[in-house]
Every structure is written in C-alpha cells, then in structure tokens.
Structure 1
C-alpha cells in the first residue's frame, strides 16, 4: 500500500504545505514505506530534500486542476493507495474525482470553508468540531488540535524530556521565524523592532531556502550586533535553537507549533496569511500565545519571565510528544471498512446472553481465568457493572440480522480504561474483531473525554486477538506483562 502526498511549494506561496506533508510522511513511514510526493514543477533543492528524506518525487505539469485530477485518477492512482492532499485549491470536485481511484483520501485543512469528499480531515487548529465542516463522504472523520499535529521528530519532545530540562525560559533571547519563505518580508522589520526594546538581549532570526532577498537581509544584519541570522536549518538544529530562546515571534503556522513542542516559552504570534486565523485564535484562546502587538509591553516588563514560565508550562501540557502515535493509530484504523453493526449499552435483559458467551469453551480457553463462571457469580458481577458509573458494557447488534454479535466492555480508572471483548461464535472469522475494538474505543472516548489511554490485555497464544488489536490501530505497550500475555494501547486526545 502506497502513501501519496500532493502539495505545492515555492518562494511565492512558501513551503508550509509540503513541509507539513513531509512531517506526516516521516511519522507514517513504519506503516507506509512506499511514499510518493506529487508536486507541480518542484525545484531541484526541494526534490532533493524530499528524496533524501526517503520519499520518491513525481513532478506534475501545470494544468487546470480538473484535468490534473482526471489524469491522476486515470494514470497515477491505484485502488489500494492512501492519498493525502494539502492545499487550498483541492476542493470538493477535485477530491471527488480522485476519491474514486484510491482506497482512502485524507485532507489537511486550515479553512473549513467548503464541502469535502475526504475520508479523514486533519486540522491542526484546536477547538473545531464536526459542526464546523460539511463532510460528504459517509463515515468521514475529523481530527483537530495539537494532539494530531504532524510535526517532525526533532520537535516531538516528551514530557519527561521537558522535565529534565526545567531551566526557566530566558525571555531576553528571542527566536523569530515568520515562515521559511516569509513571502511578505517581515523578518527584518520584526527583528529591528525587537532589537530596539531594552528588555531584549539577542534575536535569532530564521529563514528558509526559499526566502527571496537573503543577501539584502545579510547586509542589513551585519550592522546589528544583537542579531544572528540563520538560513535553512535542519530540523534538529532548528529545534535546538528554539530551546535556547525563551521567547519567540512566529507566524501562526506550523513553526509556532514546533516552538511549543520543542520546549516552548513566551510565544508572540504574527499572522502572515488569512489561512492562519484558526491556529492564531486557538493558541491565544488556550493561553499558549499572545499577539505580537503585545511584544513591547511584555518584553520590557518585569513580568516577562513569569509569563514565559507559565506559558511554557501550558504548552508542555498540550504538546505531549504523542501526536505521532495518535496519527499512526488513526491512519491504521482508517484502512478498516465501516462496521456492519451498531453498539448499544447492555441492559439487565442481556444477562443470560452474556453468561452463555462467557462460558463458551473457546472464550474460556483464552481467558486469564479459564474456569467456567457460575450463574450466581455472573449475576452479581453483571449487576455491579451496570450500576458502576465507570464501567461501560456495549453490545454489537448486527445490522443485517438484528442478532447480537458480540460484547466490548470497559473499566475506567482515572485517565485509563481497560477493555475486554468477545464475539458470538456465528460472527467469528469475518474480520469483525478490529471493527468492534475500534468502534467501542471511539464511543468510550466520546463518553469519557478525560481518558488518555485505553488498554487491552491478551494472551500471547491468542494470535487472532493479537492481530485484531494491531489491525485496529492499537500499539503494543512496553509494559511489564506476564510471560504469556501482551498489552495493547490506544492513545486518546484528552
């Protein structure tokens, strides 16, 4: 199965779309080793960067988008491909044309401004819901917020790593990046304004390889003793520089998320394009950033250090370094068909059916307690579960026959839920187990938004169940299990 990524980038429009897809490709490479970027007339430097990162590149000629979509559908795309689009011109008609030629379609969006035909929509801005979108593909899903933001590995700092480097941010050292291309040429103006503030000791200004006017910027910077210019830094170098700067002025784009995720500090936002509205609004509303217009007041205040420390703590709570795991589990789950059943809560009338399932020999064989369950013990257990507000028992009702197909149950303790499941003998061997795991987990996370992980324990010898967890997107956990058991986990965004 191939992962195809369609975006464009150059000095005029910037490279944000391409770099965002490059980060996603890096994250998904373990599951999609064959990756192909589709780009209109990429320049040599960009093509080399993509191929060096492990992706093939196919140059597309400039042609009307309806013609391009028809060409891709007829000549390039395969029925088992996953296609990812990132760009404002790939609207409904384009999406609808290519959607019929691939297995799944993913769209990275910043605008929620027009109908979409994608199976999965990914918007890094937080605070959005399905009500903000018109998704026309049946069963389409929305992933929004930093929990699903595709960032390069260098910026995915884990909480433990943040705690190990707990030095207070130095707000007198300011990082500036207004997009790699900075097409509106604001880097010089912002750097000059910051250097004029008495509270600022040093400014590190960063531009990318697509920046036009580098020589002119260098000439000006030579006369600014408190300024250091950087151009086209590799991701590890950029992340290291961000960690040295306790304050930052960034466009309301991926670079602002990278700063928060790398370590964070006093983040001041300067939107440079209309499509940055949602991300700008989210970061400021969540207390993760302030507007650049407040820079002079904050950076010259005795409160700058306190504000930087508080903002850094808030950023580290939100950017937990687990977005790659969430994206991988969601893309794995995306490959599954829709479930042919509906879930409903169990009731007292289901007790006999559950006991029959529980005591079936095949179920007892792979239970951690293989002994049959006595009816009286089952009744007490079942009544207690129905009364427990932290327990959920969900029955799967087959859409075609109306028969009960299986059960998935959860026990919630704090931010962790533990599950177990079973299928009726008449419904085994149909590939329903991963669908039940996924549907049940998603319903639970809707009802318990504070749950951060869902765990399932399975006997090592139960190959079918192990495969079901893997197909559903669950990941094997590095826990201290018994020798004959494994634990799989699903990360929530709570």
Structure 2
C-alpha cells in the first residue's frame, strides 16, 4: 500500500514585538518535524531578520507577504500562490472563518494551530496542544479532525530528545527566567525587581528574544546584580542546554513551558496573555507546574526535593518525546482522502462483511464475541440492506475493500458500527472512515441531529479514532456494558 505524499506545506504565521514570536516558534517546531517528508515554506508579513536567518539555516524558504491588516484580501492573493496538493497550516488569531473559506476554494487541505477556540473552523485538522480541551470547545466543520493535548506538543528537536532522558534535582541553584520572545510589557524586569529581588544566593538565567525592546535596560540591571546572567535569541540547542543546567524555571504558560516540561524540573508559570489561560489551568491542575506566587513557599519547604521529584514524574507522564511521530501521522493521514472512497453496500458485499465480522480481532472487541454463523449473517445482511433506517457504506482504498461503516437510525439519532480490514488497521483509516461516513449520512439524512458510537474501553484504537473524528465521551446515553464508553457528535 503506497500513499502519494503531498509535496509542500505552506505555514502562514506572523511574529513581532507587538504580538510576540509564539506563532512563529511553534510553526517552526512543526515544520522541523515534517521536513523529512515535505517541502516546508513559510508565508509571513514583515519577517524578523533573526527568524529569517533561522529559516535559512533550517533550509526553509520564505514567501514575504506585503504588510496589511486586510486579511481577506491577503487570503485572495495567497490562494493564487497555492499549488494542487499543497497543505496550508494557519497559526494566528487573524486567520478566521472567512480566511479559511477563501483558501479552501481550491480544495487544498488546511490545518489550524489554535489555543483560544474563538471562531468557527473549516480546517481538515485542528491541533491544540493545550490539555483539558475537547472538541466541544469548538465550532467546526463536520469534516474537521481534532488532535488535542500535550500528546501533540510542538517541540523542537532538542526538546524531543530531552523528553526521553531521566533527570534528578537535589537543590535549586539556578533559575531560568523567560517571558517569551517579545515580552512587550517587560514582565522580565518586573519579576526581577519583585518576585526574584531577594534571591541573591540563586543564579538567575534570563533569556529574551530579538523582539525584546528593553534589552539595554536589562543589561544595566544585570551589571548591578552579580547573580543575573542575560542571554538573547538562543537557538533551540542552546536553549535546551541552558534549561538542562537550570533546576527551576519561571515561564509563561506557552510553548516554552512545554519545552521546559520536556526537559523537566520545577516549573512556575506566570500568565502574561489572555490566550494562556487554558494552558495555565492545565499545567497547574495536573501537577506539571505551580503558580509563580508559590515560589517562596516551595523554596522554604522542608520537603522541597520530594515536591520537585513529584512534579518531574508528572511531566514525564505527559511528555514522552513521541509527539513528532503523532504529528507526522496527522499530515500523512491527510492524504488518505485522495485514495479512500465510500460507496453504498451491495448484495455481493455479503461475503466480505461476513469475513470481516468473524475476524478474531473484530470479535474480541465486539459486545458479543461469539463467532457469527453464515446463515444468520446472510439473513441479517439482507435485512439491513433493505432497511430504510440503516445505511451501510463500504470503504475502498484504490478500489480495494478496506472497511465498513453502518448507521442504524432511530428518529433523529444514528448509532455507528464500523470495522476495518486487517490490512488497513493502524494506518489512520478509522478516523477517516468515521468522518467521511458522517458526512455522507448527513447528506442523505439531513434531519439526523446526533451520531453515537459504543466502544469497548479496551479498544484503544477505536477510542482514538472517535476522538480524532470529533466525537466526545458522554454520560447522557447509557453504555451497552458497564465498562464500555459512549461517544457522541452533535450535527445540528
């Protein structure tokens, strides 16, 4: 089985002293992960010279867009540059529904990186690395697949490697302080003169970006305080090395906090932007970080080492260094729609469905694991094929039968049953079949308001497929068995 790869990914992101460099940083992290399989190109307005240098070193070309606040017009110009089979990644709060609609006019795949769920999305895939977020937080197209949480952390290569290493900290001797690449409100200086002013016995390693406007003031302050060292515009390798030489960090709840969690150590977060609220809550509520106001309490705590050890343990549970593999899978799976099709089941599909249904792996995850006799299957299949309240679709890959999805309809609700041929499992087909199947159902039965699926808790592959396809676990509908799960997707 061979999948023709999309040739190019265009990353649309901006960064400057006003909005910070976060969008560029995380888009670059993603591009670095995907370079092995795709040609990556950045489209950006007024790129920072240091960022251009970084892209040049990475072998990534740039489309420099004219500076404008008329983003709908920009989208009309950008779409002229898009080639067939290009994938477009949008990372920014100005790329709203209309912008996406214009880009989708050429039927290219769109991926959105998001963290504030502020407007309806038309993307084929939506990535939000913040924890505690579900598809219910979003208004999105029925085709949109969701990839949510730190399992999809957008980490640069040194941090992916660091996440696989063990670490122990016996004392707090060095604290890293970074408030993002731009820090427009100079929180760096505020914290040095407030929360950290009395920590004369601890070395403070301060990192700022190229867009930081208060650099001279910071250097002067550091000259007056021998325990402060200042760094500017560190690349990923240098930043990771500095983190590994620090025992604690004071960071905004943003991508840099995830990078610290991959290195691991005592983390204290200080929110500096509205879009960091969700991530701050996730980090603190799951034991990955403490609020900054607990710094002195931790430094004076008699069980400080145990507190840090527990936090490192939590960080290791969420950051395993495998997010690159998961993110690469998202983009390779986007090609599936070019090769997979759904068609209505026919009488001559009876034997194929019989063989699929009796596959040992299928029976293992069925609510009734007993083998199905051929005679019973024949009667069942004929009944379902002629039942106006049942829709059976066959998934084919390059005309080869790959799986089946069935909808049993009762009033305005449809219950899903699906399966895949053994040769097509573990390749991302499940989420595609669910997504494409629901789209066809809605086209044929527009009055359907909800689609549900019952899944064995042990069937991890199906659980993941339902989640990617935008379904969420629900307790409103009773499960088939005590240890089974119910997933639902609202359509209207």
TM-score (norm 2): 0.72
* Alignment partner of 1:162 is 2:146: no
Per-residue deviation, residues 55-101 of structure 1 (Å, max 9, x unmatched): 1011111231111011112x211221100011111110111111222
The Cα shift of 1:354 comes to 6.2
Report what 2:242 is aligned to.
241
Report what 1:275 is aligned to.
275
| Match of residue 127, structure 1, among 114, 132, 142 | 132
Secondary structure at 1:248's aligned position in 2? strand
Secondary structure at 1:100's aligned position in 2? helix
2 CA distance for matches of 1:381 and 1:86?
40
Q: 1:308 to 1:135 in 2, by over 3 A?
A: same
The answer as to whether partners of 1:266 and 1:289 remain within 8 angstroms in 2 is: yes
Report what 1:47 is aligned to.
52
The answer as to whether partners of 2:342 and 2:394 remain within 8 angstroms in 1 is: no
Q: 1:354 to 1:115 in 2, by over 3 A?
A: closer
Cα RMSD (Å) of the superposition? 3.9
1 CA distance for matches of 2:294 and 2:252?
15
The Cα shift of 1:342 comes to 9.3
Per-residue deviation, residues 172-229 of structure 1 (Å, max 9, x unmatched): 4211111011111011222344544459521111111221121111111011121111
The answer as to whether partners of 1:6 and 1:39 remain within 8 angstroms in 2 is: yes
2 CA distance for matches of 1:87 and 1:282?
21
2 CA distance for matches of 1:219 and 1:25?
37
Aligned length: 403
The Cα shift of 1:355 comes to 6.6
The Cα shift of 1:44 comes to 2.6
1 CA distance for matches of 2:76 and 2:20?
26
Matches within 5 A, 1:412-431: 421=421
Matches within 5 A, 1:72-471: 72-73=78-79, 75-136=80-141, 138-157=142-161, 161-163=164-166, 166-168=167-169, 170-197=171-198, 201-262=202-263, 264-337=264-337, 340-341=341-342, 405=401, 421=421, 436=429, 439=432, 447=455
Per-residue deviation, residues 351-371 of structure 1 (Å, max 9, x unmatched): 97667679xxxxxxxxxxxxx
2 CA distance for matches of 1:111 and 1:147?
18
* Alignment partner of 1:29 is 2:12: no
Structure 2: unaligned runs, 5 residues or longer = 1-6, 372-379, 396-400, 405-418, 438-452, 463-492
Q: 1:122 to 1:200 in 2, by over 3 A?
A: farther
2 CA distance for matches of 1:290 and 1:58?
40
Q: 1:141 to 1:249 in 2, by over 3 A?
A: same
Q: 1:323 to 1:226 in 2, by over 3 A?
A: same
2 CA distance for matches of 1:206 and 1:390?
62
Secondary structure at 2:268's aligned position in 1? strand
TM-score (norm 1): 0.72
1 CA distance for matches of 2:9 and 2:300?
49
Secondary structure at 2:85's aligned position in 1? coil
The Cα shift of 1:11 comes to 1.8
Secondary structure at 2:229's aligned position in 1? strand
Q: 1:385 to 1:334 in 2, by over 3 A?
A: closer
Q: 1:390 to 1:439 in 2, by over 3 A?
A: farther
1 CA distance for matches of 2:111 and 2:323?
17
The answer as to whether partners of 2:101 and 2:122 remain within 8 angstroms in 1 is: yes
Per-residue deviation, residues 12-37 of structure 1 (Å, max 9, x unmatched): 221110111100000011111x2211
Whose RCO is larger (CA < 8 A, sep 6+)? 2
1 CA distance for matches of 2:229 and 2:370?
55
The answer as to whether partners of 2:343 and 2:393 remain within 8 angstroms in 1 is: no
